[in-house]
Amino acid sequence: MHRDSRGLRALVLVCVLWSLPAAALNNGLGQPPPEVDRQTPHATVQGFLAAAHRGNYALAAHYLDLDFIPRAEQPVRGAQLARRLKFVLDRKLPVDLSSLSKAPEGEPPNSRTQQLGTIPLEGANVSIRVQRVTSEGALVWVFSESTVRQVDPLFAEYGPRVAEFLPPVFFSNPVLGLELWQWLGLLVTLLGALVLAVVVERLMLAFALRLAHWTRFTWDDDLVAAGKGPLKLVVFAALLAAGTSFLRLPQPVQTFFNRVGYSLGVTSLAWFILRFLRVSAAFVQKRVSVEMKDASRARSVSTQLVVLRSIFEVATYVIAAALLLIQFEVVRSVGVSLLASAGIAGLVLGLAAQKSISTLLAGIQLSITQPIRIGDQVVVENEFGTVEEITLTYVVLRVWDQRRMVIPITQFLDKPFQNWSKGSSEMLGAVTLQVDYFTDINALRAELTRILETDGRQMWDGRVGNVVVLEVEDRTLTVRALVSVANSDLLFDLRALVRERLVEFLRGNPQWLPITRTEARQVPSPQPSAEGKTPPAPSTPPRA
């Protein structure tokens, strides 16, 4: 009888329990709002992160398993744990929502947990999981109890230290995903990094300049001066990256500042390299112009410096642009996919860039073979001028009347031209005159010698100075006066001087100027013919 009564009581207890409503999850938080979606692991993690980044930690607490906390403490502790978990996830475990299951059964099906990842803590790894639990008879997904229990130790290791002494207002109402203390921290970091960058730059440049004064060269002094600007930029980038790492910024924001720091670092390095090339080229050019007595060799070195500097500058720009672009996954993946799956694109680009590549190679070839150099005097397209600038794609020619001709660099490799400065700078120049047959050529030779030794002594180099009869025509002689100069710059002036003085000399001897002579001849009297008739007189006048 006693045994039957105990069985009856147990049956009644089971019926009573069965009739009672199922216990709700996190009773201390109250009924979840309608926007709380905990049906799948994906919806739970996405809803938690969205609510936490909006600063609605009370809503985010519904995605945590808080049943191990007394009901009266769940509202306060739940919001606190949600905020701390957000910091830890943003800092140490960026969540990839695409890897989470969107099925209510999870993945694999009917699994009770799904792991987001692990975070190291005191030599061990803490698993971050969402778990399938029962709430009011329904199955929902929340962050597991074991994960929630580890939030405080993880926050103590990776959370912001300022949370211990700043008022709660600094951690509520985020703006653009950042709390007030983080905004203030960014402001302090930016201003502090800028001030420290200026101070550090001045100290380092002053120290480097003191060391540079110990040497006899001026190159290191110019190099220290070239560091002003790039050094400040790289120090600012380093301080910015280091300062933002202590603000526990969300992963997208921290990634943005990391990329900004990386971009500033690459930019400052490229900036310094360009200045280094400019300073080094100027230093070598100055030493060459001072120490080299051979002007031709000095121009050769100058040309090589200009072309090599252009090549290195272009390489610096290309490498810097590549380093800036590879940090963006979208650009990198697009480039890789184009190269991997669309080989025709590479062919099209290669054909399109053929002209540019050939021009670049022509510039490199020109710097090696050096058919022209900076300062050479050349005749191109019937224009005489001086080579003023050589780039990788074109050559600037300063014409005698101060015009500038821009000539494609390939023309100097594909077409003939005259280089008056190639090899020796010595040149010959001719002055041509028309004189009479009675001209005394020896007197002209003596006058040319007098002109060269008096008026033209500063231009004539003494090698060649003679007069020869170049052509014999029907009425005049063509006389050529040949002179020599040490530098092609003097040739035009000396030829003009000789031409003027010889014309003056001929005016002093007018009998040697070309004249036209007319000669009248007497026509003989006609003789009678055998028939006794006199032929008629010619009707034509005498020949002149």
Q: Is residue 302's pLDDT more than 50?
A: yes
User: Is residue 479 very low, low, confident or very high in pLDDT (cuts 50, 70, 90)?
Assistant: very high
- In the chain, which residues fall in CATH 2.30.30.60? 292-424
Q: Which CATH architecture has domain 427-512?
A: 2-Layer Sandwich (3.30)
Task: Provide the pLDDT confidence category of residue 182 given band limits of 50, 70 and 90.
Answer: confident
Mean pLDDT, the chain, whole residue set: 77
Instruction: Over range 277-297, report the average pLDDT.
Output: 70
Q: What burial letters (b/e) apply to 468-503, b meaning 16+ CB within 10 Å?
A: eeeeeeeebbebebbbbbbebebbeebbebbeebbe
CA separation (Å) from 58 to 37, 64, 74, 90, 132? 15, 11, 10, 18, 21
Percent of the chain with pLDDT over 90: 10
Quickly tell me which residue has 């610096």 as its tokens: 316
Higher-pLDDT residue of 365, 504:
504
0.85 exceeded by the pTM? Answer: no
Q: How far from 491 is each of 379, 397, 456, 464, 483, CA to CA, in Å?
A: 14, 19, 11, 13, 9
Query: In the chain, how long is the greatest CA-to-CA distance?
Result: 199
Lowest mean pLDDT across 243-247, 262-266, 487-491: 243-247
Q: Which residue in the block uniquely carries the two structure tokens 């007595």?
A: 293
pLDDT at residue 544, as a whole number? 38
- C-alpha triplet 352, 358, 363: angle, nearest 5°: 140
Higher pLDDT, 70 or 542: 70
Tell me what pLDDT residue 14 has.
42
Least confident of 101-105, 120-124, 290-294: 290-294
Model pLDDT, residue 44: 92
* pLDDT greater than 70 at residue 282: yes
Please list the residues that pair with 433 across neighbouring strands: 479
The pLDDT value recorded for residue 253 is 76
| The pLDDT of residue 543 | 42
Taking alpha carbons only, the member of 193, 181, 160 closest to residue 91 is: 160
Nearest-angstrom CA–CA distance, 270 and 323: 11
The ranges of the chain annotated as CATH 3.30.70.100 are: 427-512
Phi, psi of 461 (to 5 degrees): -95, 0
The pLDDT of 27-51, averaged and rounded, is 89
Q: Which of 15-24, 237-246, 386-395 has the lowest mean pLDDT?
A: 15-24
Q: What percent of the chain has pLDDT over 70?
A: 75
Mean pLDDT along residues 201-219: 75
Whole-angstrom distance, CA of residue 392 vs CA of residue 408: 9
**Stronger pLDDT, 397 or 310, i.e. the higher one:** 397
**Architecture of domain 292-424 in this structure:** Roll (2.30)
pLDDT at 359 over 70: no
Q: How high is the pLDDT of residue 110?
A: 76
Helix, strand, or coil (residue 544): coil
**Amino acid 345: pLDDT:** 43
pLDDT at 63: 92
Q: Retrieve residue 81's tokens.
A: 């744990």
Instruction: Provide the pLDDT confidence category of residue 338 given band limits of 50, 70 and 90.
Output: very low
Predicted confidence at residue 238, as pLDDT, reads: 83
